Structure 1
Amino acid sequence: MSTDTAMQPASAALFISVEGLSKRYTQYAPPVFENVSFAIEQGEFVCVIGHSGCGKSTILNVLAGLEEATSGHVIMANREISGPSLDRGVVFQGHALLPWLTVEANIAFAVRSRHPKWTRAQIAEHSLRFIDMVGLKGSEKKKPSELSGGMKQRVGIARAFAVEPKMLLLDEPFGALDALTRGVIQDELLKICEATRQTVFMITHDVDEAILLSNKIMLMSNGPRAQIAEIVVNTLPANRQRETIHHDPQFYRIRNHLVDFLVHRSREFRPADYDNQTQPRLVRPGLDEGAAPIGDSGPLIRAVA
């Protein structure tokens, strides 16, 4: 059962609204991140990139309801997140499968939590649909010890999708996989998201992966006191393909912008860096950066051209 608390609607256009989020582990240490604010629309695929220690996974855990922020709050579909919920599916860096259960049973375990009144046949039918969706048909009766690393991660993705969450949270789910397997699963994820209009919040260290998968890329400054420095809008065509994406000149403009931030600007960023504002400004894509700020604490949005 969800532990989310009812709130007044923040905005009819927004699905996720993160406002003034900060996290401090002890009173004597500076916050890992502070005053983090951003919004996600329904159906968006958002990637977060930043150096280790900037609090990316902590923000994801707050969105999942697995960790509490020191200050600020997160509103999802007009309800404040205050604990775990089946409305949010999480895929961790490790597959986190139950080793004594088969592929089918691992997924059925999650489906049963979502639909406790379903019959065994209904649960099995539903589980098999998502097993097929991630390309594991024929491996239903195998246990995790009989699967490759990539196959285990597919089970984790299928399990998260099978509970039909309103939002999918991915914490570097492909980081430990070889390049070929990672590419196959990325393609599967894109197909599923296109078919289901799934909202996704994903952490990655892979710039090319972010450009391939996401609509927007959030760039975090270095911790402590990390912030969302920029939100870069991915202006490549929505139907981009791995085999041809690098032929578009825009790919390299975006990639160079992201790499430049990670190598140089992330280490030196301060909120005042952007036009002496106390917080980065929200700049609409397609307008120059002299446009008026929108809101008091919105991050800078750049359409890289």
Structure 2
Amino acid sequence: MSTELVQVQGLAKRYGDATVFDNVNFTLTEGEFVCIIGHSGCGKTTILNVLAGLEQASDGHVFMAQREVNAPGLERGVVFQGHALMPWLTVRQNIAFAVRSKWPDWKRAEVDAQVEKYVALVGLTPALDKKPSQLSGGMKQRVGIARAFAIEPRMLLLDGPFGALDALTRGTIQDELLKICAATRQTVFMITHDVDEAILLADRILLMANGPQARVAEIVVNTMSRDRQRATLHHDPQYYRIRNHLVDFLVERSATLSHGRAPEHPPEVRPGLPEPAEVIPLDTHPAIHRSTA
């Protein structure tokens, strides 16, 4: 039985009279991989920053392990769009800096062992003593991921870290991330603009309506096998059903589902999908769970 780790309750963010998002509610359970998708300006990064304790919400609360989040903490690891490595330090030293922050009493041999373990997991052992200027963009992102995992956080927050990478490098890192998460049962909250990335990685996908006054309009439950592989993803009949739903939301419906924006026509009910306004219990409808909260 999975334990509920994070509760997001009534989250809102305003800048002056402008409301970016309002009444955002969702939970994360231990070991769950959740992606959030939405158009630019809907507040995805702000939500992630609130979860990280890097930004304060205007309203609402975030609780992690029943404690309110209001500041950064080492139980949360963050990987940004940019690698954020210290250029004057080697790969080993960049990761060791984070490890010592978590365990200041560790001896050098313990720190080195922790660093080497997670560098090996992302396939960068030959680059241990290189500086960031000697690494490719994909390698730098791997170092950032290794650094976040090395502090063994209870939750990993990923702010679209693969968006600037070429398709081959992105796919390689995604595969490595899946392997590490499977091995560690890591809880992950990730921003992505890539529908296929979300389907490959996520257990649930949060769909944000457009801003202003954006909200989590729908939650899609990924019912494909957890051991799914990139090469065979498209052979699963559920893949196209889920993918088409996500694309349809982003292209057609996200603009009509913000607070105060009524659709011109009632949403179309497509075969195999539940009624748009219903909350479908997962045990009665296995593929799509809508939330109108």
Q: Indicate whether the TM-score tops 0.5.
A: yes
1:160 pairs, out of 148, 151, 154, with: 148
C-alpha distance in 2 between matches for 1:231 and 1:148: 36
| 2:210–2:258 Cα contact (<8 Å) kept | no
C-alpha distance in 1 between matches for 2:120 and 2:235: 32
What are the equivalent positions in structure 2 for 1:278-289 lying under 5 Å apart? 282-287=279-284
| 2:213–2:258 Cα contact (<8 Å) kept | no
C-alpha distance in 2 between matches for 1:178 and 1:288: 37
SS in 1 for 2:11: strand
**Superposition deviation, residue 120 in structure 1:** 1.1
**TM-score if structure 2 supplies the norm length?**
0.91
1:75 pairs, out of 35, 44, 63, with: 63
Give the length in aligned residue pairs: 277
**Superposition deviation, residue 113 in structure 1:** 0.1
C-alpha distance in 2 between matches for 1:204 and 1:270: 20
SS in 2 for 1:35: strand
Q: Tell me, yes or no, if structure 1 residue 174 matches structure 2 residue 162.
A: yes
* Structure 2 equivalent of residue 16 of structure 1: 6
C-alpha distance in 2 between matches for 1:13 and 1:122: 30
* Structure 2 equivalent of residue 9 of structure 1: none
Code of the aligned partner of 2:33? F
> How high is the sequence identity, in percent, across the aligned residues?
64
C-alpha distance in 2 between matches for 1:285 and 1:36: 20
**Superposition deviation, residue 249 in structure 1:** 1.4
**Superposition deviation, residue 288 in structure 1:** 6.0
1:221 pairs, out of 209, 218, 225, with: 209
1:133 pairs, out of 95, 113, 121, with: 121
| 1:220–1:227 Cα contact (<8 Å) kept | yes
| 2:156–2:188 Cα contact (<8 Å) kept | yes
Structure 2 CA distance for partners of 1:21 and 1:220, relative to 1, 3 Å: same
2:100 pairs, out of 100, 109, 112, with: 112
Structure 1, unaligned runs of 5 or more:
1-11
Q: Tell me, yes or no, if structure 1 residue 63 matches structure 2 residue 51.
A: yes
Which runs of structure 1 show a deviation greater than 6 angstroms over 4 or more consecutive aligned residues? Answer: 272-275
Structure 2 CA distance for partners of 1:131 and 1:236, relative to 1, 3 Å: same
Tell me the alpha carbon deviations over residues 243-280 of structure 1, each in whole angstroms, 9 at most, x when there is no partner. 001011110000000000000100111467799xxxx6
| 2:211–2:258 Cα contact (<8 Å) kept | no
**Superposition deviation, residue 285 in structure 1:** 2.3
Structure 2, unaligned runs of 5 or more:
268-276
* Structure 1 equivalent of residue 270 of structure 2: none
SS in 1 for 2:99: helix
Code of the aligned partner of 2:11? L
C-alpha distance in 1 between matches for 2:258 and 2:152: 39
Code of the aligned partner of 2:61? H
C-alpha distance in 1 between matches for 2:88 and 2:60: 40
1:101 pairs, out of 78, 86, 89, with: 89
